[in-house]
Chains A and B, each alone.
Chain A
């Protein structure tokens, strides 16, 4: 068809699709925690499996986006930035999958104090993801706005919020780590697994923040 092969589909649309699949993973985190704390091993396994399936789909979308971006594709954003955004999104799904898998390893003791505090930690992490999804959803509009103006400002505000929320989730993470380490009589396996679970949950938010920082670069370009 000649010269109009020049036009390729905007990569931001595919990135939006990928984010929806990532959310399918992270949205299951609260029920995963519920099942784990209640000692419902079967349910934990079932949810972990669901997360793993969605992580696989995320991977597929990631690969198809990468394949559609050979060097001959010219974009309004640096190719490296775009690939880093995809990699970070993939890391969100990956860490969520890891979390699910960790919880299937063993039924462990749940320190009483942890039970009360874990909810706000999970909420803080999911808030970071929710905000990240909002940013991703705006990317195509940002392109329409040619990466400037009120739309760019609006996104920078969202990015600031992501950094803020990520910091909040960090604080919760430190608190929980302290609680676990100071719980008397916790067996070795429980201690190690809780440490890992808390760290991995925090990593989900970290991956989202890394993505946000790349998007900041795109705007400031």
Chain B
């Protein structure tokens, strides 16, 4: 194959993978918002499209680099950059096929785990077990265990705060209005700071720690004011029976949840677009990656991932969101806020650290965290078992599939 064909194929497979993520995975990121009726179905699609794209473009490269060259040692392919490129093609196709199939079977698989498995698979068949950067793999696998727990702990604490400071207050609506701007400030701080600090390399903007912090504080103060203004319009009627007062509290949180929904989409874009872009980048820059050259990723590579996600979302993902939104009846904005805050923060921090984690599994951890804080009517923990099973299956299956596709490509084109 000529390099041009490899690049075109890689772009096509990368797009397919990103499409898959948009079609299936984004629904998980947006489900808690739509389920809580904080954002309408249409708003969810718009928020997802915008913030997935921004997250992918602004933070996405950290994780992409890990996927492209953190798991296998690219220098082992120094003499055969083309082999490395084929491997990345095989990884993309294997992961996309597996995610596609598993979703059809209703298994909650992770796109991230599929990609990591795929990279390992081709690494093992080409240079054996020793070519795998086991230290890095161990870190990644550890992050898969740690991230749902972290999401759970943060969400638990946030919901405990909501429960103790707002729901337990003598006048819960007044308390909600009092704390809402502060909560918005907090979300905005984490979001803006992580976006700016070492984040905008793609735009050739590099903020120092202090500058990023100052700008984040500035933006967050604006957020504080805006939310303060919006919630001040929500009427307080202390004569209402309690049954009708809590919906007022939830109205305040519905406003906040628009922010966490955006936050969630942003984090998801940052973390998961890498699943498509990482290997695509690996294939496109195979020559540079396998020698000791510095890689300057061009914008179009990230854009394929970002556009693919939005395409998958608008062509198929909206259907999934609709179903998920109908399915969750027991989610209210205060719970959704806590769960999304915990999940999105964990995902974003991991993305900044270059750790590819599963957004979906982190969200499950976060929802359970809210449940442990006595927030949710009933949770079916059997899903956790399903997740662990799909988790254990995904790595070997994606690896085997990627190895097989790689061998086929090699047989066909390398003789």
Query: Which chain B residues numbered 240 to 298 have a C-beta less than 8 Å away from chain A?
Result: 242-243, 246, 250
**Across the interface, do B324 and A148 meet the contact criterion of CB distance under 8 Å?**
no
> A75 touching B246 by the CB < 8 A rule?
no
User: Chain B at the A interface: mostly helix, strand, loop or mixed?
Assistant: helix
Do A76 and B375 form a contact, CB below 8 Å, given A145-B242, A146-B163? yes
Any B CB within 8 A of the CB of A185: no
Q: Is B229 an interface position by the 8 A CB rule?
A: no
Interface size on A, residues (CB 8 A): 31
Per a CB cutoff under 8 Å, which of B163, B169, B364, B377 touches A11?
B377
A3 to B332, CA, bound (A): 17
Residues of A within 8 A of B387 (CB): 3
Minimum C-beta distance from A74 to chain B (A):
4
Contact of A8 among B31, B162, B168, B378 (CB under 8 A): B378
A2 within 8 A of B: yes
Assess whether B360 is in contact with A7, with CB atoms less than 8 Å apart: no
Residues from 83 to 116 in B contacting A, C-beta threshold 8 Å: 103, 106-108
Selected contact of B329 from candidates A9, A76, A138, CB within 8 Å: A9
Q: 1/0 per residue B345-380: CB within 8 Å of A? A: 000000000000000110110011001011111111
B327 within 8 A of partner (CB): yes
**Contact between A74 and B368 (Cβ–Cβ < 8 Å)?**
yes
Which of A11, A72, A144 has the most chain B CB atoms inside 10 A of its CB? A144
Interface window among A108-116, A149-157, A200-208: A149-157
A149 touches B328 (CB 8 A): no
How distant is the Cα of A146 from the Cα of B169 in the complex, in angstroms?
12
Determine if B327 and A76 form an interchain contact, defined as CB atoms under 8 angstroms apart: no
Alpha-carbon distance A73/B323, docked complex (angstroms): 22
A73-B380, A75-B377, A145-B246 are contacts. A4–B328 as well, Cβ < 8 Å?
A: yes
Query: Measured between C-beta atoms, what is the minimum distance from A113 to chain B in Å?
Result: 42
Do A148 and B379 touch (CB < 8 A)?
Answer: no
Interface centre among A72, A149, A154 (most CB of B within 10 A): A149
- Please tell me if the beta carbons of A76 and B371 are within 8 angstroms of each other in the complex: yes
A57 within 8 A of B: no
Interface residues of A in 130-149 (CB under 8 A from B): 138, 140-141, 143-149
- B379 touching A7, Cβ below 8 Å: yes
B329, A149: Cβ atoms under 8 Å?
no
Contacts of B28 in A (CB 8 A): 2-4
Determine the distance from Cα of A138 to Cα of B327 in the docked complex, in whole angstroms.
24
Given contacts A76-B376, A145-B167, contact A3 B246 (CB under 8 A): no
Of the residues A6, A76, A149, contact of B380 by C-beta under 8 Å: A6
Q: Does A188 contact B (CB under 8 A)?
A: no
Which residue of B has the minimal Cβ distance to A145? B167
B277 to chain A, nearest CB (A): 23
Nearest-neighbour CB distance to chain A for B89, whole angstroms, equals: 28
| Whole-angstrom CA separation of A145 from B170 in the bound complex | 12
In the complex, whether A184 has a CB less than 8 A from a CB of chain B is no
Residue-wise interface mask of A (198-218) relative to B, using a CB-CB cutoff of 8 A (1 in contact, 0 not)? 000000000000000000000
* Chain A residues numbered 67-125 whose CB sits less than 8 Å from any CB in chain B: 72-76
Return B43 CB to nearest CB of chain A, in Å.
19
Q: Is B330 an interface residue (CB 8 A)?
A: yes
Chain A residues with CB below 8 A from B5, complex form: none
* Chain B, residue nearest A69 (CB): B378
A12 within 8 A of partner (CB): yes
Residues A5 and B380 in contact in the complex (CB < 8 Å), given A76-B375, A148-B167: yes
CB-contact partner of A72 in B172, B324, B367, B381, under 8 A: B381
Q: Is the CB of A138 within 8 A of B330?
A: no
For the complex formed, measure the closest distance between the CB of A7 and the CB atoms of chain B, giving whole angstroms: 5
The complex places the Cα of A10 from the Cα of B378 at a distance, in Å, of 5
Interface residues of A (CB under 8 A from B): 1-13, 72-76, 138, 140-141, 143-151, 154
Interface residues of B, Cβ cutoff 8 Å to A: 28, 31, 35, 103, 106-108, 159, 162-164, 167-172, 242-243, 246, 250, 323-324, 327-332, 360-361, 363-364, 367-368, 371, 373-383, 385-387
Given contacts A3-B31, A3-B383, A74-B379, 7 further A-B contacts (CB under 8 A): A2-B106, A3-B387, A6-B380, A7-B331, A72-B381, A149-B170, A150-B170
19 intermolecular pairs with C-beta atoms under 8 Å apart: A2-B107, A2-B360, A3-B360, A3-B361, A3-B387, A8-B378, A9-B377, A74-B378, A74-B380, A75-B377, A140-B377, A146-B162, A148-B163, A148-B168, A149-B167, A149-B168, A149-B169, A150-B242, A154-B242
